[in-house]
Amino acid sequence: MLLAIAADGAHAEDLSYLLHKHPGRTQEFSLKFGTAYVFYPTWSATRCEAALLLEIDAVELARRRRGASWTLFDYVNDRPYAASSFLSVALARVFGTAMSARCDARPDRVHAPMRLEARLSALPCRGGETVLRRLFEPLGYEVETERLPLDPQFAEWGNSKYVSALFKTTRPLHELLTHLYVLMPVLDDEKHYYVGEDEVDKLLKRGGDWLENHPERQLIAERYLRRHRPLVRAALARMREDASEAVETEEHGAAREGALERKVRLNEIRLKAAEEALKENGAATVLDLGCGDGKLLSRLRKEKQFVKIVGADISSVALGRAHRRLRLDRQLQSRERIQLIHSALTYEDRRLKGFDAAALIEVIEHIDPPRLKALEMALFQKAQPRRLVVTTPNREYNARFETLPPGKLRHTDHRFEWTRAEFQAWIDNAAKQYGYSVHTRPVGEPDAELGPPTQMAIFDRKGAPR
Amino acid sequence: MNEPRVLQIPDPSLVVLIGASCSGKSSFARKHFKSTETLSSDAFRAMIGDDENNMDATRDAFDALHYVTAKRLASRRLTVIDATNLKSEDRKPLTQLAREYHLFPVAVILDMPEKVCQERNRNRTDRQLPRAVINQHIRRIDRRFAGRVKGDGFRYVYRLRGEEEANSVQINRQPLWTDRRGDVGPFDIIGDIHGCCSELEALLETLGYARNERGVYAHPEERRAIFLGDLADRGPRNLDVLRIAMDMHEEGTALCVPGNHDVKLLRKLQGRNVQIAHGLEKTLAEMEALPEAERTAFEEKTAAFIDGMVSHYLLDGGKLVAAHAGMPEHMQGRASSPARDFALYGETTGETDSYGLPERLDWAIDYKGRAAVVYGHTAVTRAEWVNGTINIDTGCVYGGALTALRYPEKTLVSVPAEKQYSVPTKPLEADEGGRPALLLNIADYQRKMLIHTRLMGNVIVNEENAAAALEVMTRFTAAPEWLVYLPPTMSPCEVSSRPDMLERPEEAFAYFEKEGVEQVVCEEKYMGSRAVAVICQNEEAAERRFGVESPAGGACYTRTGRPFFSDEAEEEAVIRRLRAAFDAADFWNAHETDWACIDAEIMPWSVKAQELIKGQYASAGAAGEASLSLAGEALRRAEARGIDIAYLRERVEQRAEGVGLYREAYRRYCWEVGSIDDLRIAPFHLLAAEGRAFLDKNHLWHLSALNRLAEADPGWLIAAAHKTVRLSDEAQRQEAIEWWERLTEEGGEGAVVKPLDFIAYNQKKRLIQPALKCRGSEYLRIIYGPEYLMPDRLKRLKQRGLSAKRMLALREFALGAEALERRARREPISRAHECVFAVLALESEPVDPRL
């Protein structure tokens, strides 16, 4: 990748002094991840242009990244070509003195504004050129951009995330370098190294006073610190001593379902309804099937009625989160009472057998329809809880979610969503086949025409002692 | 001198020694049993409490002793308990344990005079018990002691009186009657006959049996019949069937296991009060009709015959079980009354259904055993394999057919009933209404898995890998019923000796030559996405063979088991079009099957990898081109200024050229797919069909079978281009190399070099790589990056190790083959599934993905 910085006007030649790089030579700098070269494509009395060429050693890079992840993405990617944190690191290394505004040969020129241009040919912009403008224009840059197509031979693939950009400005050189240093990785929204606490110091040191007053400081901090919430909070707090404004981090891959249902706080209502149904028949042992990160479990633990609480989930990541949420590593007596197990609902699992009550809250819709038969057998025939509480979305109600396009499901991982009639048919059949009685309850404010947002069924095993 | 007394001890069984301290139990055990067979309470006390006499450890010692006993009995090992066992409360847990594992408990009482015990106690150097203790012990063994012991549930109780008898006694170990593992057949197993003698005669003759000079059916090739019981009742010639069976049994040309009807007849003949119904009245009426003398003789003979029958048989090294109503794994080849009841009546819920018949539990759903279980008892409309079990009672007496299963061939031979002789209480169902859903037990996958494969012995899958696979299997893969097979990973050849290239066919040839392979097949490697497709002849075959309702009648999935097409309609359209080709090629008749599994490449690459191509490959290309062209332009201007920078400019220009070629490379594998008609499918393995895995066929057979398929839908299906090379023939090698060069120059991905045989071994009988890939230079830009051919990079890339990749390829290949072979042998679905699961689990091993 190449960064070209040009200076125009009477003092153009100062560029070489300020950069501390001789215009008549090509200089080479060895970096951990490759080699940087500095040379001057143009050198005249009125225009001087310096170029920083970075050649990344892809083979070495891949070798070093082995431990972390083993996908081909590590070997064939845009990193050798795109402007990214690699370029920022090279910039700091090669033009470090210039960036920190030191120049013994021309001390008077260091803070003097110059007519400058910076050109980058493949600048990845997450969020597009708008974000680029929002970042640079408040700082007084004139920005020219051109979006690169993904592949001119496949016009239908559309544009890439890269722009070719030209920044024009009149200001001291060290400011331009600093802005690029901070904002290139922000635009890219990636970092090639681990972001730790010293990154906050780096941001504040380089950001100085301009960042504090930047209208997009929040976005900059978040992306620069890779959305590491405590770091973002620390950075923003240190930027403004009066940081009373709440820190809402940018929605990242927003959970559509959560956003949709927020209005009615449906999840809260659902958990409450489930909890009530589980408590009703005097259950002492309770099972949360597909417990996720343990929201229902943490409610259930507050109920003294339950002497044994087990959460089961197929996702070991979710179980890890539940473990933390419930602080199972700290609370000794909880460990006896609450257990988390890695299980799959389409498999027979003896550990799930014989509970007084079991919850299957917003889970079945994540199971492929051909596997439902196995789930039924595993639950009703093998696990045989005395009571089973099932909730699932009511598909008809989706029409009431204004932001949900017709025909779409509430969550990308939902394999199906049932209408009230479909749900009824399933529960009736299961109850009949496996010797359970069943009744339904609405969850959430029912719509007169379309029914409740969530449907709930309560199965009770026939002949089981109450 | 009297003949020494001989104790008959079933092997395996649980032998419980009983006697006072110092009565000689340990010496007795040492003399007659292996030290590993004997579990002594003293030894367990020492193990737990550091001292054989540590009475504080007694309770824990017995816990441990019972635990070890259970493990031994579970693995069919004769076990001897060396403890005083004088109290009923000590003996009862032991008889219960034996029953739990369906083995007989045997008691051996060492009844010694007190003075012998007291004297031995005095002479002991290690420890001495108070006299009173021994006296107490002795007093427990009174005259009625043996009766009390028997009452604790022992099958045999032997009381040895005095030193002389204890010293002279001999032990005879007898294998259990049910254990006929040494008997390897071949057999013809015949289902419930119920007096249908004409059909039996016809069936025996169809199977090749003929009456010998004594008028008894015998087979010229020494095959033997196994009758699965229920010989008589309901049918027209009940006594004739009994005669045939008894004669064959006596002659040694048949084995018989009892059915519930036979046992009921026996009880009647023994004069007990039984309900005369369910067809027994017909058999009895035939007996009544016999002249008095003949009748008595026949009744006695029949009673002795049935009484002598053994509940079931475990045969052929444990690979076959014959039982009237089935037999779960934990009772096979064992002996207990629950096992006998199971063999006779099957498993019932204890409730009755709407027809007033006992409600049956279908034990076969959960069956996971290694042995094929052949049974009858419940009439079904057709015999179907379910989890390695098959019910061959096809209801002859109800007007169905009399069916035999030939073993080891596992083919079915049927003779239709001449008429309906009896009306069933409830209509026959096709094996309890079709196959139930596959329900796997999670415990089988949440542990370190050890799978025995024919090709390379035990393959181990670590627990973490299994856990990862479980998550994938639960959330992302196609239904496990369809996952017949997952393909193994494939290693590339060694790096080329040429300085400007990474891979070439020469190295693949060298590998196979070194491993002693004479002939190889080079197949074009099509660049798309790997797919495994299971195609059924129709929806009904899908239901019958895979137990799933599938309107598409098949499935198509990726090398990690995920559905190949995210859109169901698209998958269905592909399956239907593939099926049409199978139909047109007359595949089903030619291969006598109603389903098949093929391994194929589906093109274009972009159909499956669109997001990857856009987000990664095209992106890198776009950034590379823009970035290097600006750099080149800047360098040229600097050079024009007279700066000495040509070396850098040339390098950047080379890199730019690499990026250009890289873009050309991926573009070749992308095209717009408007409908499935735009796809191209290149099948290269015909893996399996009903009852068969085609791993014994060489690659030319596979290619020619698939070529016939491709001819049925030319253009859409592609017959893989290939070259056969005799490695000793330099000209053939050269020709194949040139073929590969042309192929790759025209933009092909490259070739796969395979030994001619699907499964190949080297001179040391070790399994060798089933295939090596040789990828073209241009294609490899997609794998190693646009600039990989620059000399400084290539040099480093050539330092690649292949051993981990190759080991993984072998393990996955062995597992995939095992999955197919287990399915072909009709073993339980869970046994075939565990192999496929293991392939998926091994895929989570970290291996350089560029290989």
% of chain B exceeding 70 in pLDDT: 97
> Are B471 and A316 an interchain contact pair (Cβ–Cβ within 8 Å)?
yes
pLDDT at position B357 is 63
Nearest Cβ partner of B630 from A25, A59, A121?
Answer: A121
Distance from CA of A448 to the nearest CA of B (A): 34
Residue in B619, B628, B629, B842 to test binding to A, most A beta-carbons within 10 Å: B619
> Are B630 and A374 an interchain contact pair (Cβ–Cβ within 8 Å)?
no
C-alpha–C-alpha distance, residues A160 and A53, integer Å: 22
Question: Per residue in B581-591, pLDDT tens?
Answer: 999 999 999 99
Residue in A16, A25, A60, A75 to test binding to B, most B beta-carbons within 10 Å: A75
pLDDT at position B209 is 96
The upper half-sphere exposure of residue B373, i.e. CA atoms within 13 Å in the direction of its Cβ, equals: 31
Nearest Cβ partner of B616 from A73, A350, A370?
Answer: A73
C-alpha–C-alpha distance, residues A436 and A434, integer Å: 6
Sign of the C-alpha dihedral, residues B638, B644, B650, B652?
negative
> Are B637 and A42 an interchain contact pair (Cβ–Cβ within 8 Å)?
yes
Question: Per residue in B209-245, pLDDT tens?
Answer: 999 999 999 999 999 999 999 999 999 999 999 999 9
Cα separations (Å) of B506 from A16, A94, A177, B501, B730? 55, 47, 53, 12, 11
A172-211 burial string, b = 16+ CB within 10 Å, else e? bbbbbbbbbbbbbbbbbbbbbeebeeebbebbbebbeebb
Contacts of A43 in chain B (CB under 8 A): 641
Distance from CA of A376 to the nearest CA of B (A): 10
Does A70 reach chain B within 8 Å, measured CB to CB? yes
- Whether the per-residue pLDDT at B623 is higher than 90: the answer is yes
Residue A58: name the closest of B846, B780, B786 by CA: B786
> Are A151 and B793 an interchain contact pair (Cβ–Cβ within 8 Å)?
no
> Are B437 and A373 an interchain contact pair (Cβ–Cβ within 8 Å)?
yes
The upper half-sphere exposure of residue B808, i.e. CA atoms within 13 Å in the direction of its Cβ, equals: 23
CA angle B532, B535, B540 (to 5 degrees): 145
Q: How many CB pairs under 8 A join A and B?
A: 187
**pLDDT band, very low/low/confident/very high, at B185 (cuts 50, 70, 90):** confident
CA angle B37, B41, B44 (to 5 degrees): 85
C-alpha–C-alpha distance, residues B142 and B18, integer Å: 13
DSSP3 helix / strand / coil % (chain B, rounded to 5): 45, 20, 35
C-alpha–C-alpha distance, residues B312 and B178, integer Å: 6
Look up the CATH number of domain A2-193: 3.30.1610.20
Nearest Cβ partner of B442 from A70, A156, A348?
Answer: A348
Residue in A47, A49, A160, A289 to test binding to B, most B beta-carbons within 10 Å: A160
Question: Per residue in B701-718, pLDDT tens?
Answer: 999 999 999 999 999 999
- Searching chain B, which residue's CA lies closest to the CA of residue A37? B648
Nearest Cβ partner of B443 from A75, A161, A350?
Answer: A350
Does A22 reach chain B within 8 Å, measured CB to CB? no
C-alpha–C-alpha distance, residues B773 and B780, integer Å: 12
C-alpha–C-alpha distance, residues B704 and B408, integer Å: 30
- What rounded mean pLDDT belongs to chain B? 92
% of chain B exceeding 90 in pLDDT: 78
pLDDT at position B431 is 45
Query: Could you give phi then psi for residue B391, rounded to 5 degrees?
Result: -95, 115
| Residue with more model confidence, A263 or B460 | B460
C-alpha–C-alpha distance, residues B722 and B503, integer Å: 18
> Are B626 and A149 an interchain contact pair (Cβ–Cβ within 8 Å)?
no
Contacts of B652 in chain A (CB under 8 A): 53
Distance from CA of A2 to the nearest CA of B (A): 6
The pair of three-digit structure tokens given for residue B796, joined into one six-digit string: 């480093």
Contacts of B441 in chain A (CB under 8 A): 347-350
Residue B674: name the closest of B730, B754, B607 by CA: B607
User: Strand B385-386 relative to strand B519-525: parallel, antiparallel, unpaired?
Assistant: unpaired
> What's the residue count for chain B?
851
**pLDDT band, very low/low/confident/very high, at B577 (cuts 50, 70, 90):** very high
The pair of three-digit structure tokens given for residue B603, joined into one six-digit string: 């093109």
pLDDT at position B191 is 95
pLDDT at position A333 is 62
Distance from CA of B532 to the nearest CA of A (A): 19
Residue in B630, B644, B661, B842 to test binding to A, most A beta-carbons within 10 Å: B630
- Cβ atoms within 10 Å, residue A48: 23
**Do residues B643 and B635 make contact, with C-beta atoms less than 8 angstroms apart?**
no
Does A287 reach chain B within 8 Å, measured CB to CB? no
Mean pLDDT of B115-140: 88
- Searching chain B, which residue's CA lies closest to the CA of residue A315? B471
pLDDT at position B549 is 84
- In tens digits, chain A (466 residues) has pLDDT values of 899 999 998 889 999 999 999 988 999 999 988 999 999 999 998 999 999 999 988 777 777 665 444 455 567 888 889 998 899 999 999 999 999 888 888 888 889 999 999 999 999 998 889 999 999 999 999 999 999 999 999 999 999 999 999 999 999 999 999 999 999 999 988 877 777 778 888 888 888 788 888 999 888 988 888 777 777 777 777 766 543 333 333 333 334 455 555 555 888 899 999 999 999 988 999 999 999 999 999 999 999 999 999 999 998 889 988 988 888 877 666 667 899 999 999 999 999 999 999 999 999 999 988 889 899 999 999 999 999 999 999 999 998 888 888 888 888 889 999 999 999 999 999 999 999 999 999 998 899 999 999 999 999 998 876 5
C-alpha–C-alpha distance, residues B501 and B791, integer Å: 10
- Searching chain A, which residue's CA lies closest to the CA of residue B620? A78
> Are A75 and B850 an interchain contact pair (Cβ–Cβ within 8 Å)?
yes
Residue B214: partners with Cβ closer than 8 Å, 6 or more residues away: B247, B251
Nearest Cβ partner of B470 from A51, A156, A344?
Answer: A344
**Do residues A114 and B586 make contact, with C-beta atoms less than 8 angstroms apart?**
no
Contacts of B471 in chain A (CB under 8 A): 314-316, 344
Q: What is the pTM of this model?
A: 0.77
**pLDDT band, very low/low/confident/very high, at B351 (cuts 50, 70, 90):** low
Contacts of B801 in chain A (CB under 8 A): none
DSSP B380: B
Complex ipTM value: 0.83
Judged by average pLDDT, the poorest of A255-264, B161-170, B344-353, B620-629 is A255-264
C-alpha–C-alpha distance, residues B438 and B708, integer Å: 34
- Searching chain B, which residue's CA lies closest to the CA of residue A124? B623
- Searching chain B, which residue's CA lies closest to the CA of residue A69? B846
pLDDT at position B349 is 62
Residue in B362, B363, B625, B627 to test binding to A, most A beta-carbons within 10 Å: B627
Contacts of A42 in chain B (CB under 8 A): 637, 641
In the stretch 149-188 of chain A, residues with CB closer than 8 A to chain B read 149-151, 153-154, 156-157, 160-162, 164
- Write out the CATH class of domain A256-461: alpha beta
Look up residue A307 and give its amino acid.
V
> Are B623 and A82 an interchain contact pair (Cβ–Cβ within 8 Å)?
yes
Nearest Cβ partner of A314 from B436, B471, B641?
Answer: B471
> Are B648 and A342 an interchain contact pair (Cβ–Cβ within 8 Å)?
no
C-alpha–C-alpha distance, residues A30 and A21, integer Å: 15
- Whether the per-residue pLDDT at B1 is higher than 70: the answer is no
Does A348 reach chain B within 8 Å, measured CB to CB? yes
The pair of three-digit structure tokens given for residue B158, joined into one six-digit string: 């032997």
**Do residues B483 and B836 make contact, with C-beta atoms less than 8 angstroms apart?**
yes
Quickly list DSSP for B199-249. HHHHHHHHTT-EE-TTS-EE-TT--EEEE-S--SSSSS-HHHHHHHHHHHH
Mean pLDDT of B422-439: 63
Contacts of B629 in chain A (CB under 8 A): 121
Residue B801: partners with Cβ closer than 8 Å, 6 or more residues away: none
> Are A59 and B797 an interchain contact pair (Cβ–Cβ within 8 Å)?
yes
C-alpha–C-alpha distance, residues B573 and B221, integer Å: 50
Helix (H, G, I), strand (E, B) or coil at B802: coil
Quickly list DSSP for A281-332. TT-SEEEEET-TTSHHHHHHTT-TT-SEEEEEES-HHHHHHHHHHTTTTT-H
> Are A81 and B624 an interchain contact pair (Cβ–Cβ within 8 Å)?
yes
Q: Tell me whether the omega of the peptide bond preceding residue A215 falls within 30 degrees of 0, making it cis.
A: no
**Do residues B582 and B709 make contact, with C-beta atoms less than 8 angstroms apart?**
yes
| Residue with more model confidence, B770 or A233 | B770
Nearest Cβ partner of B438 from A78, A160, A374?
Answer: A374
Domain locations along chain A:
2-193, 256-461
Residue B480: name the closest of B88, B832, B100, B31 by CA: B832
> Are B467 and A347 an interchain contact pair (Cβ–Cβ within 8 Å)?
no
Contacts of B785 in chain A (CB under 8 A): 58, 75-76, 80
Quickly list DSSP for B611-659. HHIIIIIIHHHHHHHHHHHHHHHHHHHHHHTT-S-HHHHHHHHHHHHHH
Distance from CA of B312 to the nearest CA of A (A): 29
Distance from CA of B368 to the nearest CA of A (A): 14
Distance from CA of B472 to the nearest CA of A (A): 9
Q: Which residues are bridge partners to B323 per DSSP?
A: B312
pLDDT at position A245 is 37
> Are B549 and A150 an interchain contact pair (Cβ–Cβ within 8 Å)?
no
Question: Residue B390: in which H helix or E strand, if any?
Answer: strand B389-391
A327: left (phi over 0), alpha (psi -120 to 50) or beta: left
> Are A382 and B439 an interchain contact pair (Cβ–Cβ within 8 Å)?
yes
